[in-house]
Amino acid sequence: MLNRLLKLIFFIISSKNIYSNIYKKCIKLIKYFKKMKDIPLPTKRRLVLLERLLSGYKEKNITSQKIQELTGWTSAVVRRDISALKLNCGATNGYKVEELKSHLEKMFGEKKESLRCCIVGLGRMGQALLDTSELYDSPFKIVAGFDSSVNKTEVLSSSFPLHPTTLMKKIIREEEISYAILTVDSDEAQPLTDLLIDCGIKGIVNYTPCVLKVPSEVPIENVSLLTALETLAIN
C-alpha cells in the first residue's frame, strides 16, 4: 500500500513538472507569435531579405550604413526594422552578424519547418512554377498541383503529382498542405480561394489580378507584374 502511495505521489509531482514545462513552452510560443504579428508586413519582408543577405556575409559585424549600401534601404529604416525584433545584438561598430543571423533564423525558422505547398492552376504561369529549383535548400516544398483540366494533369511533366481540382480537398488534407500558390483565371479565383480556406490552407500567394476575400487570419501575398511596374512608375 505504501509503495502504491509513493508511486502515486511521484506520478503527481512528475506530472506537475511535465505540465509546467508544456505551459512554459506554450507561453513562449504565444509571445513569439504575438511579436511576429505586431511587426508590420513591410518590415517582415525586409527582414526576410536581410536573413538571406547575412547568410553569405563574411564579416563579424555589419553597420546599418553597410546594409543600406547592399539593399538600398535607408539606414534609419534598417535600424527601425532591427529594433522591431527587440534584440540586444548591437555594437559600437555595427551589429554582431552571427547573433543577428541566429535571431533571424530562429524567428523565421520556427515557422518554416517543412512547409508543404501546392500550385492551383496549371496555365502558363502555373506551368512555369513547376520548376521548383528556386525553392531548393529552403523549408518550402511543393507537393501537389491542381487544375480543372484533367488533360493538363495527365500530360504535363512534374516532379510532384498533379491532380484535378475535384480532388483538391482530399489531397490537401492527406498531404497536410499549408500554403497555396494560386495561378487560375479570374473567374475561378474566388471560388477556389473559398475552397482552399475550407481545406484549412494557412496562406495564399495570389498570382491572379483579383482582390481576394479571405478571413483576417489567412495572409495573402499578391504577386503581379503589372502592379509592380505601376508602383515603380509612381515612385
Position 88 confidence tier, pLDDT thresholds 50, 70, 90:
low
Query: Average of pLDDT values for 12-26?
Result: 50
CATH 1.10.3720.10 correct for 41-109: no
Domain ranges of the chain: 41-109, 115-233
Please determine, for residue 14, whether its predicted confidence score (pLDDT) is greater than 70.
no
- pTM, two decimal places: 0.69
Note the pLDDT of residue 196.
Answer: 97
Locate the DSSP E strands across the chain. 61-62, 90-91, 94-96, 115-120, 140-147, 162-164, 179-182, 203-206, 220-222
Residue-wise pLDDT for 115-130, tens only, equals 899 999 999 999 999 9
Domain 115-233 -> CATH class: alpha beta
pLDDT band, very low/low/confident/very high, at 111 (cuts 50, 70, 90):
low
In this prediction, residue 56 carries a pLDDT of: 83
- For residue 133, what pLDDT is reported? 84
Any residues with CB less than 8 A from the CB of 62 and at least 6 apart, and which? 54, 94, 95, 97, 100
Let me know if 182 is exposed, middle or buried by CB neighbors in 10 A (0-12, 13-18, 19+).
buried
> Are 205 and 182 within 8 A, CB to CB?
yes
The CA distances from residue 163 to 185, 200, 208, in Å, are: 17, 18, 20
